Amino acid sequence: MPRFPAVPVSTETMWTIQLLALGVLVAAVPSEDKKLSDKANALADRSATLAFNLYHTMAKDKNMENILVSPVVVASSLGLVSLGGKAATASQAKAVLSADKLNDDYVHSGLSELLNEVSNSTARNVTWKIGNRLYGPSSISFADDFVKNSKKHYNYEHSKINFRDKRSALKSINEWASQTTNGKLPEVTKDVEKTDGALIVNAMFFKPHWDERFHHTMVDNRGFMVTRSFTVGVPMMHRTGLYNYFDDETEKLQIVEMPLAHKLSSMIFIMPNHVEPLERVEKLLTREQLKMWISKLKKRSVAISLPKVSLEVSHDLQKHLADLGLTEAIDKNKADLSKISGKKDLYLSNVFHAAALEWDTEGNPFDADIYGREEMRNPRLFYADHPFIFLIKDNKTNSILFIGRLDQLQSASQQTLDGK
């Protein structure tokens, strides 16, 4: 793992010194080329490690079906816990993020910069709506400092909630989530078991805008094989183009990378050649392995078929984060979240992390002339009609914006069967 100097040297400062020494005059750097600070890079690196740790913990859960998590958003929730916590409650949150050696301000401002960078819809030409809210029991009074800093660094809102009327409490959480995501995520949860603590809620909607769009008429109904003996009907979109591709013959799987607009990020699909439980491929999935696969990708003509669906997944990450070491914050007797309320009277009862990811045909126009070219002949087939793993990787920060798996499709297909 790369090490970071205790006192980071700003790369910008170094540039300035070098340029002055050369006597060069530079024009202002356009904002998209703006370098990230060392802090943001360090936290991007930590969040990528978290992505794999969290995925594996979740995949171990036998009841888990589809997975959809945003590691950078989970990282910011851990930042929030360390902001509101003291002693072990705070240090464990940093440790889960492998940031225990970094000082608090470094962590908070690094995460904040990272999150602003990767979620900037304008600069990135993707739609990513993120709502973050901390709910506390109605008896709580939030400390001003905490409210200010959690808003500033992590874009968190704060709200009190009264679970004595559980139905209306749930309704208000779900309504907020729906509103935050323009209706794309109508429900975060059907129930809350422990109603005496603080709840973290992330509600998100992500829609990739492909660097090269699919043709909206190239969509038809096909079968998605959930297992070898169970197929569901699903709309699929198809296109052939030049993509980074690797056929791992040894591991019997295919990898394809599809750039999102402006090529600032891309979606990477990892799919076994045949229908099988994802467990085998998941065992291979490490950060090092992904790096190795990426190094083997070669641009070639690929005929891609993807389900055109909206994947809505909601997780309660509390127990998974506990598996990774966040044990104090969630323990009623041990938690010290006294920087949230000024009193040691709060613990973290739920960490709801819910997202809707919409795979659609939309993207930027492309040069249709390539279809006449020699290199477009004999495309490899990437036909995603059975469970696969996917990641949305940021090209600039190397962070992982989402990691997940598509394992089950019944409900998704019902919702989006071409609007019928």
Ligand X SMILES: *[C@@H]1O[C@H](CO)[C@@H](O)[C@H](O)[C@H]1NC(C)=O
SS3 216: coil
Q: Which stretch binds ligand X (CB under 6 A): 115-123, 145-153, 160-168, 320-328?
A: 115-123
| Min separation Cβ 37 and ligand X, Å | 14
How wide is the angle at C-alpha 40 spanned by C-alphas 35 and 43, nearest 5°? 145
Residues 309-330 as b or e (16 or more Cβ within 10 Å = b): bbbbbbbbbbebbbbbebbbbb
Give the integer Cα–Cα distance in Å for 384 and 226: 11
| Ranges within 191-210 binding ligand X (CB under 6 A) | 209
Among 64, 123, 275, 376, binds ligand X (CB under 6 A): 123
| Binding residues with ligand X: total (CB under 6 A) | 18
For 382, the token pair is 């990437």
Among 12, 32, 61, 196, binds ligand X (CB under 6 A): 32
The answer to whether residue 125 forms part of the interface with ligand X (CB under 6 A) is yes
| Min separation Cβ 325 and ligand X, Å | 32
Q: Alpha carbon 80 to chain centroid distance?
A: 17
Q: Which stretch binds ligand X (CB under 6 A): 1-9, 38-46, 160-168, 254-262?
A: 254-262
The answer to whether residue 127 forms part of the interface with ligand X (CB under 6 A) is yes
| Min separation Cβ 270 and ligand X, Å | 15
Contact present, 242 and 376 (Cβ < 8 Å): yes
The answer to whether residue 31 forms part of the interface with ligand X (CB under 6 A) is yes
Q: Looking at this protein, which amino acid is placed at residue 298?
A: K
Contact present, 76 and 154 (Cβ < 8 Å): yes
386: how many CB neighbours lie within 10 A of its CB? 22
Nearest to 77 by CA among 3, 124, 131, 39: 131
Among 148, 166, 216, 263, binds ligand X (CB under 6 A): 263
Residue the block writes with tokens 């994947």: 311
The answer to whether residue 120 forms part of the interface with ligand X (CB under 6 A) is yes
| Ranges within 317-356 binding ligand X (CB under 6 A) | none
The answer to whether residue 261 forms part of the interface with ligand X (CB under 6 A) is yes
| Min separation Cβ 120 and ligand X, Å | 4
| Ranges within 391-410 binding ligand X (CB under 6 A) | 395
Q: Which stretch binds ligand X (CB under 6 A): 80-88, 118-126, 169-177, 314-322?
A: 118-126
Q: Which stretch binds ligand X (CB under 6 A): 179-187, 258-266, 281-289, 303-311?
A: 258-266
Give the integer Cα–Cα distance in Å for 260 and 125: 8
- Give whichever of 35 and 332 is closer to ligand X, judged by the CB atom: 35
How wide is the angle at C-alpha 151 spanned by C-alphas 127 and 75, nearest 5°? 65
Q: Which stretch binds ligand X (CB under 6 A): 12-20, 122-130, 132-140, 340-348?
A: 122-130
What angle separates helix 87-96 from helix 71-84, to the nearest 10 degrees? 160
For 58, the token pair is 């979740």
Q: What is the CA radius of gyration of the chain?
A: 22
- Give whichever of 59 and 391 is closer to ligand X, judged by the CB atom: 391
Residues that bind ligand X (CB under 6 A): 31-32, 116, 120-123, 125-127, 209, 257, 259, 261, 263, 266, 364, 395
